[in-house]
Chains A and B, each alone.
Chain A
Amino acid sequence: MIRSLLSADYPRSRVVAAILVAILVALALAPFLFPGARSLAVAAKILVFILLVASYDLLLGYTGIVSFAHTMFFGIGAYGVAIASTRMGPGWDAIAIGIAFALVLSTLLALVIGLFSLRVKAIFFAMITLAVAAAFQTLASQLSEFTGGEDGLSFKVPEALQPSFELFEDTVLGASIDGRLLTYYLLFSAVLALFLLLLRIVNSPFGRVLQAIRENDFRAEALGYRTVVFRTMSNVLAAMFATLAGALLAIWLRYNGPDTTLSFEIMLDTLLIVVIGGMGTMYGAVIGSALFVFAQSYLQDLMGWISGSFEAVPLLAALFSPDRWLLWLGVLFVSSVYYFPTGVVGRLRARAPARGLS
């Protein structure tokens, strides 16, 4: 049962397994364990990031392609739901149609970009995706009658997901079963299912070919695999999962704008999480996202405290000011590429006895 759920890709380290179980339990019971709108929002953000980062890992970690257009697909998914819900009014049909259109658009775009630029070197692809993503972001903020421009779109979700909706009169285990909670569990089950599907994909024969291309594309080609086709497929798949992640985020926030889903910061966050969590391990996405989103809130608190105690030295105070937390994440990123190229998961796995390799 567990074997087929995890596609025979076990954590292969007791520590990793323990952390994963802890995260799973914490996320599954978040509304009851950590009541409050703020902590639920953090949990939902972790969920969305798990899916986004895992889909990016399919591209970066498993296929060895660096793309900077991943947030573009994330944004397409979010805009799909947002635009459909604004135009058609709240309803499940609007969400379904929005997601369907977004998936089609993402697939086409990923296909075009892939066929156009994946033939050439990795660097070409990285640069072209960077340019395309920037153009898309401008497009989204320019087409204001359609996308709401810089202000974005606020929209209503189906009634069952609205905060005012109450399933039961009484509270259950100290939490009221309202629309937010239902939305949270919608996110949770969708992310869990999609994550397991991604795990299935990377452990399929198709996923093995992707890894072969990552290790040595020339050899993979010589073995008879059309590397362009496989790379493009990987690009399209990653784009589709990112689109779904974007749609989930839009449903959760009931809002979407350029800064929420398309900004380059999110792209950088995704990149940081993949590398820190461990490239080429789906579990790295889970651990990395949980760590990162926590750090995002707590590192800033810690830095505020350090900065306060350095008040006498202006430069140090500025260096540790909470707004500069990205600086320290950047340092962490660079040093983890140097010293822990396999990330948290790879590191922990290397420490574990080799017995788990079966």
Chain B
Amino acid sequence: MSTQSQAAAQRPAGTAERPAAATRSRTPRAADVDRLPWLLVPLLALLALPLVGSLPSWVTLTVAGLAMGMIIFIIASGLTLIFGLMDVLNFGHGVFIALGAFVAVSVLGPMGALTGSASMAANLVAVGAAMLAAMAVAGAIGYVFERLIVRPVYGQHLKQILITMGGMIIGEELIKVVWGPEQIPLPLPQGLRGAYIVGDAAIEKYRVIAVVVGLAVFVAMLFVLNRTKIGLLIRAGVQDREMVESLGYRIRRLFVGVFVAGSALAGLGGVMWGLYQQNVIPQMGAQVNILIFIVIIIGGLGSAGGCFVGALLVGLMANYTGFLAPKVALFSNILLMVAILLWRPQGLYPVAKR
């Protein structure tokens, strides 16, 4: 477990706790902070160490798991906030992942000069541009999606599931119309390939970048949620929407903002996922969808901190089991979800009102 993420673990424990603390407030033990789920991440990593056997491969696997977890977190964080704030479960979230990845293909394609150069700075400029473009497009489409697909069915769960699923089909088909149905390679820029050698352990460069970007998003999200007025309103809205409304805030507009931001984050995550896999297909949204559903169920629907822990657990678990028992790896996520739900049936950090 890197010290980085442990340092990160200190802060959010208090913040992500708020929903759970509200549940507790009905019980006498309101004061104590629930850090237990955060300990699961280092615990899982330590547990894997003797199983993996060699330290270098363990380091490689852990970094890979953290990188994968960070990417999943970026994608899933929007979804869980959308659900927490407005009780809307967007089955069409995967479309924005695929959309982001395909936009990245289109943006990176013509920038051969930047992606081909060996200098990492030039590569990062190209990737950064692709990320910004993907976020802009995914955010804009997210706005339209919210307007056309989600808005008419607020508060009706059954219809929401059906409608957003329909939106997913339409979005996927439209991606096929624009970019074609085939798999498109999305190679990593020249300078981002290869690995750093630390001791005996090889750590792929791109994975380090993924961890850094993921942490940056997480810290930025914590900052917005905990240190700004908008964040205060979002957290209050997750707790009690009607009360926020009756205090005179237009929660609908806030929600549109969160939806657009969540879609943009999914687009960003799509770029990173595409570069991680080094190819993109229109169906990737549906594939990743399943992973992020597992993550937000593990985290407790609506909790950003729980989503972070869940994503890291899923990422680490996938990499460890992939190394130890490849056949089991296909179900490691399901097993993890079952184990967590047996421990806490509402997820790691249950949100108060549900």
Contact = CB atoms under 8 A, between A and B. Distances in A.
Query: Mostly helix, strand, loop or mixed at chain A's interface?
Result: helix
Interface stretch (A168-176, A315-323, A346-354): A315-323
Contacts of A142: 327, 330
B301 A331 contact: no
A149 to B, nearest CB: 13
A337 B290 contact: no
Nearest to B181: A323
B47 interface: no
Interface stretch (B14-22, B154-162, B229-237, B270-278): B154-162
Nearest to A133: B290
B162 A271 contact: yes
A122 interface: yes
A64 B158 contact: yes
Contacts of B333: 131, 135
Contacts of A271: 162, 165
A3 interface: no
Interface in B89-103: 89, 91
A124 B173 CA distance: 27
Contacts of B36: none
Nearest to B171: A330
Given A66-B162, A122-B157, A337-B162, A135 B334 contact: yes
Nearest to A332: B166
Nearest to B332: A135
A124 B294 CA distance: 10
A52 B158 CA distance: 20
Contact of B158 (A122, A134, A329): A122
A3 B163 CA distance: 36
A268 to B, nearest CB: 6
A122 B301 CA distance: 13
A327 B169 contact: yes
A128 B297 CA distance: 9
B152 interface: yes
Given A128-B297, A130-B290, A123 B176 contact: no
A324 B334 contact: no
Contacts of B293: 127, 130-131
Interface in B303-354: 327, 330-331, 333-334, 337-338, 341, 345-346, 354
B120 interface: no
Contact of B169 (A122, A268, A315): A268
Nearest to A134: B290
Contact of B89 (A123, A319, A333, A341): A123
Given A324-B176, A327-B177, A338-B152, A139 B166 contact: no
A239 to B, nearest CB: 18
B337 A126 contact: no
B290 to A, nearest CB: 5
Contacts of B334: 131-132, 135
A120 B177 contact: no
A327 B169 CA distance: 7
Contact of A333 (B152, B169, B301, B331): B169
Contacts of B286: 264
B186 interface: no
Contact of B354 (A121, A134, A264, A341): A121
Contacts of A139: 330-331
Interface string B176-189: 11000100000000
Contacts, number: 95
B33 interface: no
Contacts of B284: none
Nearest to B347: A124
B113 interface: no
A42 B79 CA distance: 40
Interface residues of A, number: 40
Interface string A135-147: 1001100100000
A89 to B, nearest CB: 29
A333 B161 contact: no
Contact of B177 (A116, A132, A319, A333): A319
Contacts of B294: 127, 131
A326 interface: yes
Interface in A101-134: 116, 119-124, 126-128, 130-132, 134
B61 interface: no
B161 A126 contact: yes
B330 A330 contact: no
Contact of B159 (A123, A128, A131, A341): A341
A275 interface: yes
A131 B166 contact: no
B177 A337 contact: no
A83 to B, nearest CB: 19
Given A132-B334, A318-B177, A323-B181, A337 B163 contact: yes
Nearest to B167: A334
A227 to B, nearest CB: 16
B337 A131 contact: yes
B30 interface: no
B306 to A, nearest CB: 14
Contacts of A268: 165, 169
B264 interface: no
A81 to B, nearest CB: 25
B70 interface: no
Interface string A31-49: 0000000000000000000
29 contacts: A119-B345, A121-B354, A122-B158, A123-B161, A126-B89, A126-B91, A126-B161, A127-B294, A130-B293, A132-B334, A135-B334, A139-B330, A139-B331, A142-B330, A264-B286, A268-B169, A271-B165, A275-B162, A315-B177, A319-B177, A324-B176, A327-B169, A329-B169, A330-B166, A330-B170, A333-B162, A334-B170, A337-B153, A337-B166
Given A127-B294, A131-B333, A337-B162, 4 more contacts: A130-B290, A330-B173, A333-B169, A337-B153
